Structure 1
């Protein structure tokens, strides 16, 4: 009986800890994605302000802005006019979700795997006055939470499991002790 109480208590604490850790990581991830989108929006504003009318050469100045920053200029028809990472392809980008959103409401964002580079990216697209779309993206490190956070979570998890095991033993002792005394007393009476 003592063992069942310890296992039940331990399982409950484990379930709650896993649930809270998952929730915490999800919220942390979503906040980081939103922060990156705001940063990409600022990049797009900076690029569109600095860029002269349809001068693609101005975009090349931003190539060194950040190592993982990808800048793409997309024509009204959806074709790539400039891409800071890849050579130009004949691919039409007008069906990409962030481009559709940008054409509808002036801006759009999407987190997805890049069809060109194959890595997971956060995209932010801004519609310019001339009908072209400037799109910036970065590799999504938010999805891959850093080792420091994982280390803290694992440490907290181990400590909470140790504390829960200690508490489970103490609680089960307090619960089982009176039952044992009653069993002993009834055996003496019978």
Structure 2
């Protein structure tokens, strides 16, 4: 970049000198020609005035007091006098441009290469009272010849300007590039530099923020992976330990016959819990990798809510929690099994973490063509610091992982991934001791549902 700026500045300086010199040469040539023309016209006017007063004058007396060539032509174009003394060898001039104009208008002028002298010459002709033509002419330099004469001066100027421009360009380039070299790319907003670089610095700042966010997400994902691994180990180990311990006691004959049903029931429950946990992990893995191969269909969320209520009747009766359904029939395009598992897990949690005599309210509605499902409970609530993590796998608000409330620890994680699978948005509001409200907003549906 620095080299490019330097080269461009030198190039501009050299081109500027060449253009300036050319324009100056053209202007000088124009002024030179104007002076020549003005001088010849003044001489011609003076001599014409003298000849009009006294016609039969010897023109030779004038050729020594002027550098201009004097020519006189009669009414027929014949040269009757020329200060060069070659009038006898000169042809008829009636068709010469300046002579023709003088016959017609009283005066005429032309600039051309002289056939006699073979040089560029300026001619000025004026008609006298007797009808003859007085012509004055003078050799002039062509613009090319004039430029050739000043080429050495131009080359010298060009050399001097080139050297100076290289020095000044080097200094200017260093000053221009220095603030850019001093830019702190880690904190671009703190740089005091050219305003033209502000969009670039804003972009770098945004990219830095994106990179920091991605690094943070990677670290969080790594921490979650480690925590997930630890939780999986713990959650799988707990039922296996129970099953193994109870089975060992039964194998060694240390269980009384009357306790055998209770021990068998415990082994069965823990085995079912283990199977449920493994199934949940498999479901989440498929949702993560978008490998769910199920049919999409029109699902009535209102009817689905009643199905879930019926399936949880026994559980709600055991917990002494009432389940109510409100709203209207609202259909969406989705996967029936995933939607069932989503709302089953939400409702089951609402029953499980409720108070005796509490309530769970299912509300199905549509607002501005957006299907909405709200599940509210009057349960124990969730601390604010835990709201952002309740959808993590195996995460429990109870940090001791108490088995008081049995479950796989994957229910709400399945809810989150199911909502994402259906492009739905989730909102959670909760207050300790008063209950929790989970809202799921589905995308707009086609009008024919």
Report SS of the residue matched to 2:111.
strand
Question: Hey, what's the Cα distance between the residues in 2 that align with 1:95 and 1:120?
Answer: 19
Q: 1:113-169 CA distances to partner (integer Å, 9 max, x unpaired)? A: 101110111211111122211111111147444999666555544433333222211
Report SS of the residue matched to 1:25.
helix
Deviation at 1:183, TM superposition (A): 9.1
Question: Hey, what's the Cα distance between the residues in 1 that align with 2:148 and 2:130?
Answer: 44
Aligned residues: 185
Which range is displaced more, 95-104 or 126-135? 95-104
Deviation at 1:61, TM superposition (A): 0.9
Q: TM-score, normalised by structure 1?
A: 0.81
Question: Hey, what's the Cα distance between the residues in 1 that align with 2:104 and 2:11?
Answer: 50
Alpha carbons 1:47, 1:59 under 8 Å: kept: no
Partner of 2:445: none
Matches within 5 A, 1:2-81: 2-51=2-51, 52-53=54-55, 55=56, 58-66=58-66, 68-81=67-80
Partner of 2:165: 164
Which range is displaced more, 168-177 or 25-34? 168-177
Question: Hey, what's the Cα distance between the residues in 1 that align with 2:85 and 2:19?
Answer: 41
Alpha carbons 2:126, 2:133 under 8 Å: kept: yes
| Aligned residues: CA RMSD | 3.0
Higher relative contact order (CA 8 A, sep 6+): 1
Alpha carbons 1:79, 1:91 under 8 Å: kept: yes
Report SS of the residue matched to 1:58.
coil
Rg bigger for which structure? Answer: 2
Q: TM-score, normalised by structure 2?
A: 0.37
Structure 2: runs of 5 or more not aligned: 188-207, 209-449
Q: 1:78-104 CA distances to partner (integer Å, 9 max, x unpaired)? A: 121111115123512122222223233
CA 1:146/1:64 → structure 2, altered by over 3 Å: closer, same or farther? Answer: farther
Report SS of the residue matched to 1:85.
coil
Alpha carbons 1:32, 1:142 under 8 Å: kept: no
Deviation at 1:29, TM superposition (A): 1.0
Partner of 2:277: none
